[in-house]
Amino acid sequence: MDREEVKKLNEEKEKVKKLLAEYKRKVNKEMEKHVKEMEKNEKLKAILREIEEAQAKHPGEKIKAAKSVTEINVKHWDELYQGDIVLSVEQAQYLLDTVTETENRALVRAKRGAAQNAREFPNHKWPMLVPFSFDSTISSEMKAYIYKAIKLWNDNTCLNIVEDDETSPRIHFTNTVGWGCWAHLGMQSSQAYQVVQLEYPDCYDLGGISHEIGHALGFVHEHGRYDRDSFVLFHPNNVDPQKLYGFQKETSESADNYQVPYDLGSMMHYYANAFSINGQYTLVPRAEACYVTMNCDNDGFQNPDTCTTCICPQGYIGAKCQDVDIGGYAPGGIANTCEGNILFATSNWQDINGQIGSDYMDSKIDYSYCHWQIFPDIGQIILIEVLDVGQVCVVGCLLGNTEIRTAANRGATGVRLCCRSDLGSSGRLTITATNGYALISLYSFSKIQHFRIRFRQY
């Protein structure tokens, strides 16, 4: 980057700071009205009392979490929007125009003219292929974290984020000491590359990196949706008065929700006590929801009845679905011959012979089960060969089956086999697992089910 380019960027940075300062001043002033209104909100007060009572029953349970983005970025607060977003001059001007229009609609509309009234927030979309590159400050260890976050986006969206250090514009990951964690919002077509800044080690967790990539792709914070108040209660009294603007909602003109439901567990959602001045909650889910979001492993989801445990996909157990359920269960006390296990693939073939159930077993509502989970070395693919299955063969495998799950979403149903014909004409079915695991499950409602499988990695 030459001197002229650096000079231009610094000039734009100063313009954004001035625009944001005026925007924040206006919004904070407006949000002060909400503070007085919420003091009268008896429903919110009751919910907060309930939370405080529950916490009081478990003193010392809460531990100090890692630094929040707000704490990490404190030195750059005047340059950032909502704590971790870098805006272009055009985007910052739009925000200021919008809040000014709210203050004095008639005057602003007369100045701006009808053609500009309906303009959308300048958040430029990427094409389906999104290139990215690494700065020399990003180590191999940091790259491993970033690759995982990119895989999360690639596996769960229609985007294809690919490493390419030549195409422009592109996302460029940097690790500049003292600069914190932030990203530009949406594609910046006027720049050869746009920075996603991730300072080591504070910014290096999967959720945080995925969050900043989300901003670079054009996603705003979930709590800023215009329909937020239908799902969460905002408690401004607990917010630092200088940071009230961080809870300003988008409008239906500035952001499109694409009819996607509000997601309390979104990686783009603020945490419950974001921007708090006293450590208390600033965002509280409405009555039926859970006040604290559980982060469930292995694609489990929060149990809405207890709010403190997860509902796990079959094959996983534990409060957070963190453990493999390798044990088995047999209804009616029938002996279970299954011996599940956690296995590690090598370059050599290994055999698994699974059998479950009994000749005397016949149930329509209960079943025996057992699970084996296979892990490869990092970056390796698991090759599975199914050599035999049976013995109860029915259409749809309704009385029992061997199921093999390999999808990125571990809760997704896998390949189910119960007939030798399911293995194809060769009598041998080959499956590859590319997502760092394979889960083999054996189920039986009636009689005996078995399989013979071998596996290795490559």
Rounded to 5°, the CA angle 265-437-269 comes to 10
Q: How far is CA 354 from CA 27, 115, 338, 388, 426, in A?
A: 64, 70, 6, 10, 21
Q: Which residues contact 121 (CB under 8 A, 6 or more apart)?
A: 91, 94, 250, 253, 254, 255
* 221 appears as a binding residue in the annotation: yes
Categorise residue 296: left if φ over 0, alpha if ψ from -120 to 50, beta otherwise.
beta
Residue 441 buriedness (CB in 10 A; 0-12 / 13-18 / 19+): buried
* 172 appears as a binding residue in the annotation: no
CB-based contacts of 267-272 (< 8 A; 24+ apart in sequence):
267/207, 267/210, 267/211, 267/214, 268/211, 268/214, 268/219, 268/220, 268/221, 268/222, 269/221, 269/222, 269/223, 270/221, 270/222, 270/223, 270/246, 271/68
Closest to 273 (Cα-Cα) out of 227, 249, 240: 240
Q: Which helix H or strand E contains 42, and what residues bound it?
A: helix 42-56
* 215 appears as a binding residue in the annotation: yes
DSSP code of residue 319: T
Query: What type of residue sits at position 59?
Result: P
In 139-225, DSSP assigns E strands to 160-163, 171-174, 181-184, 194-198
Burial 8-27 (b: 16+ CB within 10 A, else e): eeeeeeeebeebbeebbebb
Residues facing residue 443 across a β-bridge: 369, 401
Residue with tokens 């054009």: 218
Active site members? 212
Rounded to 5°, the CA angle 85-273-209 comes to 40
Report the alpha-carbon distance of residue 275 to residue 288 in Å, rounded.
24
Encoded tokens for 104: 């004095």
Residues facing residue 283 across a β-bridge: 234
Handedness of CA 215, 216, 219, 224 (dihedral sign): positive
Q: Which helix H or strand E contains 210, and what residues bound it?
A: helix 206-217
Q: Please report, in range form, the residues annotated as the binding site for Zn(2+).
A: 211, 215, 221
Q: Please report, in range form, the residues annotated as the binding site.
A: 211, 215, 221
